[in-house]
Amino acid sequence: MNLINEISDSDPEIAQAIRNELSRQEQGVELIPSENNVSKAVLQAMGSIFTNKYSEGYPGKRYYGGQEFVDVIEGIAIARAKNLFGAQHVNVQPYSGSPANHAVFFALLEHKDKFLGFSLTSGGHLTHGSPVNFSGREYQCIPYEVDKETELLDMDEIRKLAVREKPKMIVSGFTAYPRKIDFKEFQDICDEVGAYHFSDISHISGLVAGKAHESPVPYADVVTTTTHKSLRGPRGAMIMCKEKDRLHDKYHSESKKNLAQLIDSAIFPGLQGGPHDHTTAAMAVALGEALKPDFKEYASQIVRNSRAMADELMKNGIKLVTNGTDNHLILIDLRPIGLTGKGKLVQDALDKAGITANKNTVPYEPSTPFNPSGIRLGTPAVTTRGMKESEMKVIGESIAKIAKAPEDESVISRAKSAIAELTKKFPLYPGMGILK
Ligand code: DSN
């Protein structure tokens, strides 16, 4: 079944937009670190007839009839996630990362409870306590920052902050931090102050699954991840947690449930209605792919590619936050080349050359989040396309040239030709026929 042909007949406008988006994805390089290119099998599961079903509840305990096959896919998704990450309990129903994180707050904290989260401008996520998000409005966030000099997380400072503030929860995880996180140290601090450890591995879950990054699962009480970033699945999320609530006696009355039940009931009926079963089917397929041996090679190639691109950028005079990377992500600091607050200018210039990236704050950002001084890059999608270190050098050199002259059309045009040449050799979805 070629679904695009169906759309072409029924809704030519949308069909054309899909074709245009495919060309954009095919002819450019996708460097937004939270994006990826899913397999055709994942796309097909996502577009399957499971989109027709409602299934409030959990496998074996649903509120509507006709659940025998939904229970199969949800059961397989859970079993594969447990196997891949070594988790005791998994919930695959969160609609996406923010709802998953919301459920963790809802399950573990009471209104205005205090927690420690990585500040947005230093590399955290909105849901880690930003004042404009539910997490910063409904709860009391004490933000931690990176060290001003090294731009690295300073675990001694985080420990001191935790000892002083006595939070009920500490969040580990990020959206814009190019280095490894020591989850065991976070857990030690949580143990010392009697706090829950909530780890958000949305960005690095593919690296964790592929053993290219340490896992928080053996330590943290709760771990969330989106499934569409380095994990290369559909847009969705999962929550992994320990069965038992190790802080039950400190924070809950006898009547409260164990951790797994707290999380499940926070998702449904606490915050969500019926799960998106077509997403669950696609998630099961993606988790099956991540369990195959070649996913390990994929994960380590993501990091090798990231390092190669970082080296090329630095060789060409570009300053990177922390002067390098350990993971899939690179953060360019535009301030030393006189472009403070000009992230949007550079993002737009890269776009014209077929390089998709995003403007981003840098630690201790002197400008605003809408006009920040950084550019965030990542290698999960280009690695999926089969690109390796030599291609990263071409891309890195093009980015460096554009960053240094974002208004020079001849520089942009030369970079565009180099990128077009490169992408021709790495077709996206070959043989899919969706351009017919
Ligand atoms: N929007 C995601 C990212 O780009 O990192 C986080 O939710």
User: 65 — alpha (psi -120 to 50), left (phi > 0) or beta?
Assistant: beta
Cα 175 to middle of ligand 1, angstroms = 6
Tell me the percentage of the chain whose pLDDT exceeds 90: 94
Check if 34 has its Cβ closer than 6 Å to any atom of ligand 1.
yes
Tell me which CATH code domain 46-290 carries.
3.40.640.10
Q: Could you tell me the fold of the domain covering 5-30+301-423?
A: Aspartate Aminotransferase, domain 1 (3.90.1150)
User: Average pLDDT in the 179-194 region?
Assistant: 98
Q: How far is CA 216 from the centre of its chain?
A: 15
Distance CA 280, CA 290 (A): 15
Give per-residue pLDDT as tens, 323-365: 999 999 999 999 999 999 999 999 999 999 999 999 999 999 9
Q: Name the residue of 30, 31, 32, 34 whose CB sits within 8 Å of the most ligand 1 atoms, as the mutation to test its pocket.
A: 34
The one-letter amino acid code at 399 reads: I
Residue 105's nearest CA partner among 181, 192, 196 is 196
Mean pLDDT of the chain: 96
Is 229 one of the annotated active-site residues of the chain? yes
pTM more than 0.75: yes
Cβ contacts of 46 within 8 Å, gap of 6 or more: 38, 234, 278, 279, 281, 282
Report yes or no: 97 and 224 within 8 Å, Cβ to Cβ: yes
Report yes or no: 142 and 165 within 8 Å, Cβ to Cβ: yes
Q: Which secondary structure element, helix H or strand E, spans residue 241, and what is its range?
A: strand 237-241
The catalytic residue among 159, 235, 319, 404 is 235
> Ligand 1, atom 3: nearest CA belongs to which residue?
34
Q: Which atom of ligand 1 is nearest to the CA of 98?
A: 7
Check if 97 has its Cβ closer than 6 Å to any atom of ligand 1.
yes
Q: Report the DSSP beta bridge partners of residue 114.
A: 140
Domain ranges of the chain: 5-30+301-423, 46-290
User: Average pLDDT in the 180-185 region?
Assistant: 97
Is 219 one of the annotated active-site residues of the chain? no
Give per-residue pLDDT as tens, 58-77: 999 999 999 999 999 999 99
Place of tokens 């004042």: 131
